[in-house]
């Protein structure tokens, strides 16, 4: 059956609700650690079951305590004050990571399989004509699959799960696979492919595997780390300086606006394509990962689903 073992996460006794019942099981989709003004730690969880998805603040949970992303949780009591849901750690029980037979297992996105990644890369390579860039694409598509499958693409908002970095990158490549044959303008597709593969490379250094920011986020930022790494690799391979400049520009401009973190704005067809594919992947996934009638501040709107 679908048995899940639950453990107490804190020593204080749990006080049952008046009817003595707990809430149904939820799976943790996302977690953000925070500290209140009084210095008390708390977490903001995105949790879901087959009926609902919502954000929940749990008070007095330190960064080292469960629940972790992917874990099953239950609550004795969830308070709702004008749509702002919260609970205390003494009202929470944490279970195991569910097996794939558990009904909630598939609510948490998982990294795509290697054969799906390889199929998209191989299809894109059929569009390529630059014999110097093609082996570089193949090389790093192979090398980066594993690390990308272990890191999130963000701490929240979109693809904020282990392997989210892989899925976000693949979504962009897969959309390019369909877009390139019908493009109304001429582009060098190799530039787009390499820029997409490397555009968020720096997030392997910007986040931990659990999605916590590292000092690299604040000292360097993922755009610089990504562009610097790709620049080094292209120089090692003897790629012409002008070609390197065009490819690196696509990475530097992929947030589209300086206000959004890009040091430069897109000024080439390839850079525009990369930044809009990035935006499309991030924003459509944000809608997909949030519940109906949920306010999403990153999109400045409330999600409405069928």
pLDDT digits (tens, 9 = 90+) for 150-175: 999 887 767 878 899 999 999 999 99
Neighbours of 261 (CB within 10 A): 13
Burial (CB count within 10 angstroms: exposed 0-12, middle 13-18, buried 19+), residue 37: exposed
Q: What token pair was written down for 59?
A: 């008070």
CATH of 109-301, one of 3.60.21, 2.40.50, 1.10.3210, 1.10.287: 1.10.3210
CATH of 6-106, one of 3.40.109.10, 3.90.550.10, 3.30.460.10, 2.40.50.140: 2.40.50.140
| Backbone conformation region of residue 80, classed left if phi is above 0, alpha if psi is from -120 to 50, else beta | beta
pLDDT of 11 above 60: no
| Range 239-245 average pLDDT | 97
Which sequence spans correspond to the domains of the chain?
6-106, 109-301
Return the pLDDT at 83: 78
Contacts 24+ apart (CB under 8 A), 242-245: 243/133, 243/191
What residues are paired with 87 via a beta bridge? 58
Pick 72 or 2 by higher pLDDT.
Answer: 72
Neighbours of 170 (CB within 10 A): 21
Helix, strand, coil percentages, rounded to 5, for the chain: 40, 15, 45
Return the pLDDT at 221: 94
pLDDT of 55 above 50: yes
pTM for the predicted model, two decimal places:
0.78
Contacts of 254 (CB under 8 A, 6+ apart): 195, 199, 223, 262, 271, 274, 275, 278
């Amino acid at each position: 059956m679908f048995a899940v073992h639950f453990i107490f996460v804190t020593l204080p006794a749990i006080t049952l609700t008046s009817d003595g019942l707990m809430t149904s099981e939820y799976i943790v989709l996302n977690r953000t650690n925070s500290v209140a003004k009084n210095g008390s730690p708390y977490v903001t969880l995105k949790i879901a079951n087959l009926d609902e998805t919502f954000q929940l603040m749990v008070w007095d949970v330190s960064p080292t305590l469960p629940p972790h992303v992917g874990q099953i949780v239950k609550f004795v009591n969830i308070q709702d004050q004008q749509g702002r849901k919260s609970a205390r750690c003494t009202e929470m029980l944490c279970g195991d990571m569910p097996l794939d037979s558990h009904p909630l297992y598939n609510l948490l996105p998982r990294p795509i399989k290697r054969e799906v990644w390889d199929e998209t890369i191989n299809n894109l390579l059929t569009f390529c004509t630059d014999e110097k860039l093609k082996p570089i694409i193949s090389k790093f598509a192979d090398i980066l699959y594993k690390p990308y499958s272990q890191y999130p693409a963000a701490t929240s908002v979109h693809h904020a799960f282990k392997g989210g970095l892989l899925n976000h990158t693949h979504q962009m490549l897969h959309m390019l696979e369909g877009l390139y044959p019908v493009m109304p303008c001429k582009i060098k597709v190799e530039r787009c492919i390499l820029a997409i593969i490397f555009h968020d490379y720096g997030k392997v250094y910007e986040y931990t595997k659990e999605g916590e920011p590292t000092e690299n986020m604040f000292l360097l930022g993922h755009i610089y780390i990504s562009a610097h790494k790709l620049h080094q690799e292209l120089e090692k391979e003897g790629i012409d300086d002008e070609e390197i400049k065009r490819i690196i520009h696509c990475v530097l401009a992929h947030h589209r606006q300086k206000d959004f973190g890009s040091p430069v704005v897109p000024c080439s067809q390839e850079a525009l394509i990369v930044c809009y594919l990035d935006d499309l992947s991030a924003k459509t996934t944000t809608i997909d990962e949030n519940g109906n009638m949920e306010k999403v501040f990153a999109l400045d709107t409330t999600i409405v689903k069928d």
